[in-house]
Structure formats: C-alpha cells, structure tokens
C-alpha cells in the first residue's frame, strides 16, 4: 500500500518517514511518481491550502495522499508570516534569506514580546472526495540570534525556541523534538490512516 507524501521538501519527508513508521504504508514522493505539477495555493488559511494540495495530488496520483501546510505566527507582527512562511519577503526565498529576514523584522522587540507559534495542518485524502484534517500547535518564542547550521527546508527551526525549553529546535535532541506541531497532527491522523489501510486491505 502506498501513501503519497505531497511535498518536495526533503526535511519534511524525513520527518514523515519517522512519524508514520507505525503506519502500514510505503511512503512515496511526488518525484517517485513523476508528478511535477503544482497546484496554485489560493487558500486563505492553512486548512484550505492543505486540503487543496491533498485533493490535487490524490487526483493526479490515484492513491491516498497526505499534504500539509505549516505556518509560523509571530504575535508582535500581527501573526506574520502565517501561510506565507516561504514567501514572507514577497517572493519564494531560500532558507538563509528567511532566517535573516525574520531577524531583521524582529530587531528591537524585547524577549517578553517575542512569542510565536508553529501551526501544522495535515490533510489526508483517502480519495479526492474524502479528506480529513488534523492540526498541531507548538507555542514558543523567537530567539534574537540564529543557530547554525540551518536545517534544510526548515529554516525557522534555527530561531524558534519551544515554550519551556532554553534551546531552539535546530539544536534540540530527538527526545526534545517529541510532540512538535507536525508530530501532534500526525498522531491525531494515525487512527484514520490505520483504518484507511484496513479498508484498502479488504478490497
């Protein structure tokens, strides 16, 4: 049984290989199926964009599909960058550019005002007409300086320090990385994935 992970982000794919190891699926990438098209992400929310991507790629692939949309919401900046995490400067920026831009936007904001959160919304499409969504939230603050090296595809982890921790995500151990926003969402999705696998096995 195959489950398409609808991302070209190798950092995310590595996470899903770990998070979904208990699910009886062979995880495949868009490149494995020769899919190069991308949907236009016209949604106004993380939920809308995740559903849009899951439906688009389920239709293209003909197999169950998992897509997500993740946003960083910074309170001092009115919730920016939100759904525009990758295009925050106004264009699709690289990892180092995004870290530098975040630091510049947060310059002069005191520690007590640097609160932020990661939100991850997973959309699982059993088929294009049957899509469920699952959400995870991680509260924290943004550090004033970045930790290097930057995790490829996950730049804000070099700045984001979870609530109750004194280290940013990029320098945290696997144990400390437990129960992150995407992991919370994946755990909520697991019963649906297992039930879906059981239904597929019965066909």
For 96-111, give the DSSP string: HHHHHHHHHHTTT--G
The phi-psi region of residue 136 (left if phi > 0; otherwise alpha if psi is between -120 and 50; otherwise beta) is beta
Q: Which helix (H) or strand (E) holds 60?
A: helix 46-61
Q: Which residues pair with 160 in a beta bridge?
A: 142
Helix (H, G, I), strand (E, B) or coil at 131: strand
Task: Note the Cα 46 to chain centre separation in Å.
Answer: 10
Element (H, E) at 190: helix 181-202
| Contact by Cβ (8 Å): 5, 62 | no
Catalytic residue chosen out of the listed positions 32, 68, 69, 127? 69
Query: Which residue's structure tokens are 């946003």?
Result: 71
Phi-psi domain of 79 (left: phi exceeds 0; alpha: psi -120 through 50; beta: other): left
| 69 classed as catalytic | yes
Query: Catalytic residues, which ones?
Result: 69
């Amino acid at each position: 049984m195959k489950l398409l992970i609808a991302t070209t982000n190798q950092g995310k794919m590595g996470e899903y290989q770990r998070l979904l190891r208990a699910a009886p699926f062979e995880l495949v990438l868009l490149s494995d199926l020769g899919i190069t098209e991308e949907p236009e992400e016209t949604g106004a929310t993380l939920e809308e964009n995740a559903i849009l991507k899951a439906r688009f790629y389920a239709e293209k692939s003909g197999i169950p599909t998992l897509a997500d949309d993740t946003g960083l919401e910074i309170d001092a900046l009115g919730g920016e960058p939100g759904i525009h995490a990758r295009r925050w400067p106004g264009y699709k920026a690289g990892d180092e550019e995004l870290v530098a831009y975040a630091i510049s936007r947060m310059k002069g904001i005191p520690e007590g005002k640097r609160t932020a959160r990661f939100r991850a919304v997973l959309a699982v499409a059993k088929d294009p007409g049957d899509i469920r969504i699952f959400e995870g939230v991680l509260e924290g603050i943004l550090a004033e300086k970045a930790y290097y090296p930057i995790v490829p595809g996950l730049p804000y982890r070099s700045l984001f320090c979870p609530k109750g921790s004194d280290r940013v995500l990029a320098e945290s151990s696997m144990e400390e990385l437990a129960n992150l926003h995407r992991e919370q969402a994946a755990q909520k999705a697991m019963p649906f994935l297992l039930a879906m696998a059981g239904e597929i096995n019965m066909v």
